[in-house]
Amino acid sequence: MKLRFKQPVLDLLSGAIDIHIHSAPDLYPRILNDIELALHAQEMGMRAILIKNHFTETAGRAQLATDATGFSVFGGIALNLSVGGLNPHAVRAALKLGAKTVWLPTLHSKQFVANKSHVVNLAGEIGMDLNGLYVLNDDGSMKEDLYPIFDLIIEHNSSLATGHISIEEAKVVVREAARHGVKKIVVTHPLASFVNYSVEDMKEILDLGASWLEHVFNDTTRQVGHPITRDALFTGIKAVGAAHCIMSTDAGQWLNPVPCQQMGIYIQDMLNFGFSQQEVQTMVTDNPAEMLDL
């Protein structure tokens, strides 16, 4: 695959790590399967990718793709109803298979169910009768079910990601996870329209113990019902600083560019907006490498 980017972009793609790609097989149309993704990334000189599925763990698939290509592919598990929600048994199995991250509920979170019109392509598999998972108790405290999941994440040196839960939920969970000893905590696409963090929210959640804010390029594309502008993406990252951010694509949709190309476009945009090459490298290579323990 030949990508027509200028040399600074190609240099930054080399060694880059994309921690958020959706691949086939899936319940939704995806542009590439696990092995095709690995081969594309390998050809561009990337260091690793992490594949995500809203319904099943992906660590086993990732290992097969790694074995088939010799390229580092990782997986994780999203705590939706298809794996039992906040289910430590599913988390334990996924982590033993090598999962590098545990996402809190995504499509089945109460927050996303209430705002599913923001991503119509995903809404079709949710159903009309789903109330959604909420990770707080009526008094605002965190559900006890999460503590054994934190213990498993700590034991396996994995990471916790906020998925599609609300700002209110995420702030409580991040605070409790950090207090409990979880070292790697990722806030998943905080600028997405269906979570919609302000700059003050992003700064607060970092103060509460989040390690990184993961900003995804997909939030600017036609895949979502209410895309943000690329300028808003840059402004949000600039407000908190590259040291606290990870750039990922959240790619794999059939109507968007292939993930490697999407990452190249993202890199080019951030350079055009004024980030230095070192700042971009921090967000596409250094921070994700720390998250994945590479």
Q: What's residue 45's pLDDT?
A: 94
Which H or E element spans position 258? none
Between CA 97 and CA 62 the distance in angstroms is: 9
Token pair, residue 36, equals 């095709």
Topology annotation, domain 77-292:
TIM Barrel (3.20.20)
Using CA atoms, how far residue 203 sits from 31, 187, 286, in Å, is 35, 11, 21
Q: What percent of the chain has pLDDT over 90?
A: 85
> Given a cut of 70, is residue 9 above it in pLDDT?
yes
**Which residues in 275-294 are b (16+ Cβ under 10 Å) and which e?**
beeebbbbbbbbbbbbbbee
Q: What's residue 85's pLDDT?
A: 97
pLDDT band at 2 (very low <50, low <70, confident <90, very high): low
pLDDT band at 117 (very low <50, low <70, confident <90, very high): low
The domain ranges of the chain are: 77-292
pLDDT band at 254 (very low <50, low <70, confident <90, very high): confident
Angle among Cα 70, 74, 77 to the nearest 5 degrees reads: 155
Q: What's residue 213's pLDDT?
A: 98
Between CA 83 and CA 85 the distance in angstroms is: 6
- Classify residue 189 by its DSSP letter: -
Indicate yes or no: pTM above 0.85: yes
pLDDT band at 124 (very low <50, low <70, confident <90, very high): low
Higher pLDDT, 223 or 184: 184
Q: What's residue 226's pLDDT?
A: 85
> Given a cut of 80, is residue 58 above it in pLDDT?
yes
For residue range 129-145, what is the model confidence (pLDDT) as tens digits? Answer: 778 899 999 999 999 99
Phi, psi of 129 (to 5 degrees): -100, 10
Q: What's residue 112's pLDDT?
A: 87
pLDDT band at 44 (very low <50, low <70, confident <90, very high): very high
pLDDT band at 120 (very low <50, low <70, confident <90, very high): low
Residue 8: closest CA among 291, 279, 290, 214: 279
Between CA 271 and CA 117 the distance in angstroms is: 32
Q: What percent of the chain has pLDDT over 70?
A: 95
Residue 252: closest CA among 71, 72, 40, 15: 40
Angle among Cα 44, 47, 48 to the nearest 5 degrees reads: 105
> Given a cut of 70, is residue 119 above it in pLDDT?
no
CA dihedral 20, 29, 124, 60 (to 10 degrees): -50
Between CA 216 and CA 188 the distance in angstroms is: 8
- Classify residue 30 by its DSSP letter: B
Q: What's residue 167's pLDDT?
A: 98
Between CA 268 and CA 291 the distance in angstroms is: 23
Using CA atoms, how far residue 294 sits from 31, 74, 209, in Å, is 27, 11, 22
